[in-house]
């Protein structure tokens, strides 16, 4: 009888966890604010430990773990800082290379912000290309996609979490 209750408990926990994961892929824009707050905490820790490479390494690992835990972003906001849709000889005429950078616009005090970047080939017939071709540099946008990684390796000591890039794979982007 004890084993049956353990099995039922395990199934119930699994169902709860799977429901939590699925709802996380809806609008999770509040995570952008939480990531910015966490960025500020890491900046303060890094500045306080500027002479301790081991501590900086620990802070970077903690930060990367936080970014990796987010996985999907839905309805996050930012400002376009770079947008190029260029044809490239390596691809057919109906394909372009999209280079895009989006900077977080919640806060720029103390350089506590982060940016998103992506470079990839996209079809000129795709919905993403149609949307991107109507957006200008400096535009405020809402975007969704998958976080790929945080680039934390080449940073000024004491400013490890300032003005860095988080790569993403955009699935949707619209002007605000």
- Residue 60, in any domain of the structure: yes
- Residue 7, in any domain of the structure: no
CA dist 156 to 52, 55, 85, 163, Å? Answer: 13, 15, 31, 10
The whole-model pTM stands at 0.70
Q: In terms of residue numbers, what domain contains 100? A: 27-175
What average pLDDT does the segment 134-139 reach?
Answer: 91
- pLDDT recorded at residue 21: 40
What tokens appear for 131 in the block?
A: 């949307």
Q: Which of 22-26, 87-91, 122-126 has maximum average pLDDT? A: 122-126
- Residue 100, in any domain of the structure: yes
- Residue 19, in any domain of the structure: no
Query: By CB neighbour count within 10 A (0-12 exposed, 13-18 middle, 19+ buried), where does 21 fall?
Result: exposed
**Helix orientation angle between 53-70 and 30-48, rounded to the nearest 10 degrees:** 170
CA atoms within 13 A on the CB side of 90: 5
Q: Which residue has the higher pLDDT, 101 or 5?
A: 101
8 A C-beta contact, residue 75 and residue 29: yes
Q: Which residue has the higher pLDDT, 107 or 92?
A: 92
> For the chain, what is the domain count?
1
- Residue 61, in any domain of the structure: yes
Question: In 3-state terms, what secondary structure has residue 175?
Answer: strand
| Proportion of the chain above pLDDT 90, given as a percent | 9
């Amino acid at each position: 009888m004890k084993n049956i209750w353990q099995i039922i408990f395990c199934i119930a926990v699994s169902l709860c966890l799977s429901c939590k994961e699925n709802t996380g892929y809806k609008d999770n824009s509040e995570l952008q604010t939480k990531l910015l707050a966490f960025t500020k905490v890491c900046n303060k820790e890094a500045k306080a430990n500027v002479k301790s490479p081991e501590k900086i390494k620990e802070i970077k690992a903690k930060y990367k773990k936080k970014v990796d835990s987010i996985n999907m972003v839905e309805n996050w906001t930012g400002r376009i800082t770079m947008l190029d849709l260029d044809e490239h000889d390596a691809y057919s005429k109906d394909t372009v290379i999209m280079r895009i950078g989006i900077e977080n616009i919640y806060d720029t005090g103390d350089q506590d912000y982060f940016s998103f970047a992506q470079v990839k080939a996209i079809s000129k017939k795709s919905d993403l290309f149609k949307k991107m071709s109507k957006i200008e540099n400096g535009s405020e946008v809402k975007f969704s996609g998958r976080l790929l990684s945080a680039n934390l390796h080449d940073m000024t000591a004491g400013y490890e979490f300032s003005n860095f890039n988080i790569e993403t794979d955009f699935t949707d982007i619209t002007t605000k």
